[in-house]
Amino acid sequence: MYFRRWLVIGIIVGVVSGVAALAFHYMLDLFTDLFFGLLLHTSIPKPRGEGGTTYFVPGDRYWLLPLATALGGAMSGLIVYRFAPEAEGHGTDAAIHAFHFGEGRVRRRVILVKMIASAITIGSGGSAGREGPTAQIAAGVGSMIADLLKLPTRDRRIVLATGIGAGIGAIFKAPIGGAILAAEILYRRDIEAEVLYPALIASTVSYVIFGSVTGFTPVFGYHRLGFDPLYLPFFAVLGIACGLAAILYVEIFYGIHALFSRVRLCRYLKPVVGGLVTGFIGLVFPEVLSTSYGWIQILLDGELDEIHTHGMPIALALMLIAILKMVATGFSIGSGGSGGVFAPGLTVGAFIGAALGIVFANLFPAIIHDVRPFIIVGMLSLFGAAGKVPLAVTLMIAEMTGSYTLLPGMIVAVTIAYIVSGEHTIYRSQVGTRQESPAHREES
């Protein structure tokens, strides 16, 4: 009875979440075309799995970029603060908060508000990701389904978490990682085991629906790289670097968020200021704009000539871009904009991994022949530590790159990064363990 019941619920959540993920995907494409194509006459890189081109065309109106990002911030802030203030920020944290402290309830209007506001923020060039909005949108879908089925509080929490996994599994074409993420992201040091079965069902269904329309090619294409045990010590060093960078990412993000909280300025204007700062950074380093996934693709393809170094050594430029991506994300989202922190974290990790991989290749040319493993391992190590989701992100990056052979190196690096980062987490609504969650205290 248990398995049949959750099989049906999982399928329902998966179908609706898959359709919602498609709607958000195409809405984001629409606003990207409006801002970058129509307004700026600019083309930004997109990853291979999304059929995009991996090159950057600045265009004759690119100098208007700060205007575009500021306009995006203004539109997003107006929509969010007028209709659903809880849709502000990076979304995933709000969904986690609803699980622990809100009885698994998300207002239905959040679904549409988050979808539109995030598409505008990211589409206008704001440094943000798709996972946070998708997680909150799908969490709203789960809450709505729980209302319609009149589920008790315990079950509605499970359905909400299942929605998170289904949405992320679809948008990232990573059904296994998305399902694991649904159970792992709720805690810093624990996992919600009851979520796993329905999340696997829902994530698979939503992935099939999303992929049937957009294609099943992994987001970054296939990178079937051989595993070399001699790389393990270097992955360990990368893990330490990513653990420290994860701490910096969290501190910068919430430092900027606190700054905007203290500033005496109309809340509708704060996302405008954040967008304006992001736009000026993007004029010099366009790598920080939007999700930056196209730039990760450029790194994986070895097209380093496309990176804007401004005369600096390539490794130094890559490290600088990683830091500026953190800053731009803080201003885009911490100011009140709407978007996720997952994609920026992957970008930061990819650029740090590329920088260290180049350094390692120059110091040890007889051992290091390929920088790509460091880019891939850097991606998952940084956000696995910053989000306290090492298992889920490891599987997700393997699915997003087709690089399962790197799993031993991934595990070494992300484990070290997780330990080094300590209690620092980008998701402040996470609790330590199930025993610390109000959800489980109420059940006992």
Q: Where does 33-91 have alpha helices with state H?
A: 65-83
Q: Which pLDDT score is estimated for 360?
A: 97
pLDDT at position 56: 78
The topology under which CATH files domain 229-434 is Clc chloride channel (1.10.3080)
Model confidence, pTM: 0.94
For 160-197, how does the pLDDT look when each residue is reduced to its tens digit (9 = 90+)? 899 889 989 999 999 999 999 999 999 999 999 899 99
Question: Rounded to the nearest 10 degrees, what angle do helices 175-184 and 193-214 cross at?
Answer: 150
Q: 187 has which bridge partners?
A: 431
Phi, psi of 431 (to 5 degrees): -110, 165
Tell me which CATH homologous superfamily contains domain 2-214.
Clc chloride channel (1.10.3080.10)
Could you read off the pLDDT of 75-122 as tens digits, one per residue?
A: 999 998 888 887 776 678 888 888 888 887 888 788 888 889 999 999
The string of pLDDT tens digits covering residues 237-280 is: 999 999 999 999 999 999 999 999 998 888 889 999 999 999 99
pLDDT 10s digits, 389-410: 999 999 999 999 888 889 999 9
* Domains 2-214 and 229-434 in one fold: yes
Each domain of the chain, given as residue ranges in start order, spans 2-214, 229-434
Residue 106: left if φ>0, alpha if ψ -120 to 50, beta else—which one? beta
Predicted local confidence at residue 89, as pLDDT: 67
Ordered alpha helix ranges (H), 364-422: 372-386, 390-401, 407-421
How many other C-beta atoms are found inside a 10 Å radius of the C-beta of residue 5?
11
Are 411 and 77 spatial neighbours (Cβ–Cβ below 8 Å)? no
